[in-house]
């Protein structure tokens, strides 16, 4: 039996309402990002498309109302510097390489760690990124994974070999240890969110270099602003020093509360270091117990 014109019209209205609801949520997130001082995040293309859509008359978009005049243009220029176009052609210094896992996608909605409109918009903005030289050697860009509304976020350094293959952070031996640490705190891995300072694997698991951190860090900051956790655990020196803008060694930063953009941040050792130095696990556990105490009222019963 064919559809009546009333059915078609009703379906179109439902779709329009759905788009409006999604768009409104996306704009709320963007307004919060900007009010939280994430000025590095330009209005992503998805936001601009929504702003141009009939659902939002000119001037009602958060991108227009929340950012100072000219800021959106400046931040967009900063982030897109050396960035390629979506078809992979750009002025970046890194040699483009074929990345079959990323290249053929029309969107990133199915990617891990994109469970809210704001996170998806950030992932769309990263795209098939070649903003730094790590792009040349990656198999998969590792955005993040977990609960988009997590009260607890773990931030590590960068993907290793297993993560580069699977497109998910902390899935190798160090990741298995992190998962056990999370479970010991009373959470499931899916309760929290996990991300890294750099989204692409440094070759040979070397440390990320300053220019690579500088290129990628705005995306981490945008992820944290989108999730708005109660507590961040910075795993290892790169995560702690990057987020805190503090060059103090991790051995002195760990175990003491710090603040990142108004959010409590606990630096502790990286699980990979704990695998090499198991005697330090006790100190890491003490740090996580401080986190548990801070979040105690909402710890799940297991
Ligand atoms: Fe882009 Fe970050 Fe990957 Fe560099 S590490 S290519 S900035 S996503």
Q: What is the pLDDT of residue 111?
A: 87
Q: Among the ranges 24-28, 33-37, 75-79, 193-197, which has the highest mean pLDDT value?
A: 193-197
State the average pLDDT over residues 184-211: 97
Q: Is the distance from the beta carbon of residue 199 to the nearest atom of ligand 1 less than 6 Å?
A: yes
pLDDT tens digits, one per residue of 116-161: 999 999 999 999 999 999 999 999 999 999 999 999 999 999 999 9
Reduced to 3 states, what is the DSSP secondary structure of residue 94? coil
**Closest residue (by CA) to atom 7 of ligand 1?**
216
Residue with tokens 């010991």: 184
Element (H or E) spanning 299, and its range? none
Tell me the two tokens of residue 168.
Answer: 């998910």
pTM over 0.75: no
Reduced to 3 states, what is the DSSP secondary structure of residue 152? strand
Q: Is the distance from the beta carbon of residue 242 to the nearest atom of ligand 1 less than 6 Å?
A: no
C-alpha neighbours within 13 Å on the C-beta side of residue 60 = 13
Q: Percent of the chain having pLDDT more than 70?
A: 63
Q: What is the pLDDT of residue 78?
A: 31
**DSSP assignment of 64-130:** HHHSPTTHHHHHHHHHHTTPBPTTS-B--SSPP---TTTTT-S--TTSTT--SHHHHHHHHHH-S--
pLDDT tens digits, one per residue of 18-63: 545 555 555 555 554 454 444 444 444 434 433 343 332 333 333 3
**Closest residue (by CA) to atom 4 of ligand 1?**
132
Domains of the chain (ranges, CATH numbers): 137-295 (3.40.470.10)
Question: Distance (Å, rounded) from C-alpha 181 to C-alpha 14?
Answer: 44
Residue with tokens 């992979």: 88
**Given the CA of residue 130, which atom of ligand 1 is nearest to it?**
6
**Given the CA of residue 158, which atom of ligand 1 is nearest to it?**
5
Q: Are 126 and 141 in contact (CB under 8 A)?
A: yes
């Amino acid at each position: 039996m064919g559809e009546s014109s009333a059915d078609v019209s009703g379906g179109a209205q439902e779709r329009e309402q759905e788009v409006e609801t999604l768009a409104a949520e996306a704009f709320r997130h963007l307004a919060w990002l900007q009010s939280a001082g994430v000025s590095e995040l330009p209005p992503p293309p998805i936001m601009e498309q929504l702003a141009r859509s009939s659902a939002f008359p000119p001037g009602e978009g958060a991108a227009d109302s929340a950012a100072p005049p000219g800021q959106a243009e400046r931040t967009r220029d900063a982030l897109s510097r050396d960035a390629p176009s979506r078809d992979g052609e750009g002025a970046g210094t890194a040699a483009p390489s074929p990345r079959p896992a990323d290249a053929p996608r029309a969107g990133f909605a199915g990617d891990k760690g994109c469970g809210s409109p704001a996170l998806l918009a950030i992932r769309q903005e990263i795209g098939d990124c070649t903003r730094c030289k790590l792009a040349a050697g990656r198999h998969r860009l590792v955005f993040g994974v977990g609960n988009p509304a997590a009260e607890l976020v773990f931030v590590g350094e960068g993907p290793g070999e297993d993560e580069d293959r699977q497109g998910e952070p902390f899935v190798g031996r160090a990741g298995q240890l992190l998962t056990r640490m999370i479970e010991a705190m009373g959470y499931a891995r899916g309760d929290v969110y996990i991300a890294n300072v750099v989204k692409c694997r440094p070759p040979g698991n070397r440390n990320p270099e300053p220019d690579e951190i500088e290129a990628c860090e705005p995306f981490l900051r945008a992820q944290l602003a989108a999730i708005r956790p109660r507590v961040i655990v910075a795993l290892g020196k790169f995560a702690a020093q990057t987020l805190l803008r503090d060059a103090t060694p991790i051995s002195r930063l760990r175990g003491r509360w710090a603040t990142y953009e108004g959010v409590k941040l606990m630096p502790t050792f990286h699980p990979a270091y704990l695998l090499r130095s198991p005697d330090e696990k006790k100190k890491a556990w003490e740090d996580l117990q401080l986190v548990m105490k801070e979040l105690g009222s909402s710890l799940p019963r297991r």
